Amino acid sequence: MTLVYIVAGEASGDVLGARLIAALRRKRPDLDFAGIGGPRMAEQGVPSLFDYRELALMGLLEVLPKVFRLKRLLADAAADVTAKRPAVLVTIDSPGFTLRLASLVRSTGVPIVHYVAPQVWAWRPGRVVKLKEKVDRILCLLPFEPIFFEAAGIPVTFVGHPVLESGADAGDAERFRTAHGLRGEERPIIVMPGSRRMEASRLLPIFGAALRIASEKLPGLRPVVPVAPIVAETVRRVAADWPAAPILVEGNDAKHDAFAAVARSGGAGLIKSGTSSLEMAVAGIPHVVAYRVNPITAAIVRRLVKVPHASLVNLLAEREVVPERIQEACTPEALAEALLRPMLDPAVAEAQRAGFAEALAKLRAPEGLPSDAAAEAVLKAIEE
């Protein structure tokens, strides 16, 4: 059988990998799969070479203590790819691991497709030259990426953003309120601190303090935290003293029900920067984007970042649709103010939603669902 080897290093990549496998199977039932992933890829019948959660690290200081373990995992992955000799290797996001893996197996001649373009257009654009040496094709999620990579001589396919097929706008509000016994006066709000322990541990205390301030000005707020299993215990521990007990939800169906309940009740979102901002846009939930990293990491990042916005919604709209509170601006007072504004002023909420529509319109590929477009690109790599 023709083998497709897929490597995902975190929860979002696991979802992309699972959708890609399903789309490939629809088009080519004869394909076989192996790789590294999480529970969603396992549901598709693809066991992981090792626990992908070991790769869910971020920031320079967070990685250093585990550098030798990461090198061992990298060597194990390279040995497995080399032994199996797949028809194509698909590396998904997590460039710190996946692109190193690509370099190690490049000499085998296995075609390498990287799914989710590294944000070299945002950080150190000069790195694109090295990227050309590691991969045969990039599958881009954002419409402005192809021009950048094609200029460097890297074949690119814009497949559209997977958030468009996430179902973030298809939840059941009443089912959520009933399941969690929400009283009529309670207004749920979304809190998303990230899917990595380090970032969640850093953001959750700040988020909790912001919620305390917001709750004093607008009683009845009930935080809802969509969590990946890897951070669930961290959230429970840190959120124990929040002004209202948070509702923790796991899995996409429960998360999307929560989104629907928040949107219907006029709630808002307090989220870390990243794809979650696009999820909020699809669900129609006004939100504030926040982020804070280790001060040393922040100092380095400031010298490297080349884009004007942290939120993907803002980047796509080319203006600030949602407020951003990053690093020193990420304070409880600033977050509370930005969180409350769309809940207290309908015009602010409506302005955000208009900006969402503008941004999301740019994420659609010329035809088909993102997973189908990605599958077609992978099949093309196999055929070539």
> Where is 249: in which H helix or E strand?
strand 247-249
**Residue 304 pLDDT class (50, 70, 90 cuts):** very low
Q: Residue 212 above 50 pLDDT?
A: yes
- Angle made by CA atoms 110, 106, 108, in degrees to the nearest 5: 50
- pLDDT of residue 143 exceeding 70, the answer is yes
The confidence band for 122, taking pLDDT boundaries of 50, 70 and 90, is very low
Q: What is the DSSP letter of 305?
A: B
Residues 292, 199: contact at Cβ < 8 Å?
no
Amino acid 120: pLDDT: 62
Read off the pLDDT band of 61 (50, 70, 90). very low
Reported as a single tens digit per residue, the pLDDT across 335-357 is 999 999 999 999 999 999 999 99
Predicted local confidence at residue 105, as pLDDT = 97
Confidence (pTM): 0.81
For 151, phi and psi rounded to 5 degrees?
Answer: -65, -25
pLDDT of residue 295: 61
Question: CA-CA distance, 354 to 263, in Å (whole number)?
Answer: 14
In the three-class reduction of DSSP (H, G, I as helix; E, B as strand; rest coil), residue 123 is classed as: strand
Instruction: Return the pLDDT at 262.
Output: 98
DSSP state letters, 192-229: E--SSHHHHHHHHHHHHHHHHHHHHHSTTEEEEEE--H
Residue 13 CB contacts under 8 Å (≥ 6 apart), including other chains: 37, 92, 93, 94, 115, 116
Ranges of H-type helices in the chain: 11-27, 39-43, 60-63, 67-84, 95-105, 128-132, 145-151, 173-179, 197-217, 229-238, 252-264, 276-283, 295-304, 312-317, 332-344, 346-360, 370-383
Nearest to 263 by CA among 294, 244, 287: 287
Quick one: pLDDT at residue 306?
57
pLDDT category at 195 given cuts 50, 70, 90 is confident
Query: Which DSSP category does 350 fall into?
Result: H
Kindly tell me if the per-residue pLDDT of 370 is higher than 80.
Answer: yes
Least confident segment among 54-68, 161-175, 206-220, 330-344:
54-68
Whether pLDDT at 193 is above 50: yes
Using a pLDDT cut of 70, give the percent of the chain over it: 91
Residue range 317-332: average pLDDT?
A: 92
Pairing of strands 88-92, 112-115: parallel
State mean pLDDT over 47-65: 68
Residue 219 pLDDT class (50, 70, 90 cuts): very high
Tokens encoding 375: 């599958």
- Whether 155 has a pLDDT exceeding 50, the answer reads yes
Phi/psi region, residue 251 (left: phi>0; alpha: psi -120 to 50; beta: rest), is: left
Angle, to 10 degrees, between the axis of helix 252-264 and the axis of helix 276-283?
50
Computed over every residue of the chain, the mean pLDDT equals 89
pLDDT band at residue 23, thresholds of 50, 70 and 90? very high
- Segment 110-139 shows an average pLDDT of 81
Query: Residue 130 has what pLDDT?
Result: 80
pLDDT score of 307:
58
Q: What is the pLDDT of residues 237-295, one digit of tens each?
A: 988 889 999 999 998 899 999 999 999 999 999 999 888 999 999 999 999 999 876 56
**Do the strands 3-8 and 137-140 form a parallel or antiparallel pair, or are they unpaired?**
unpaired
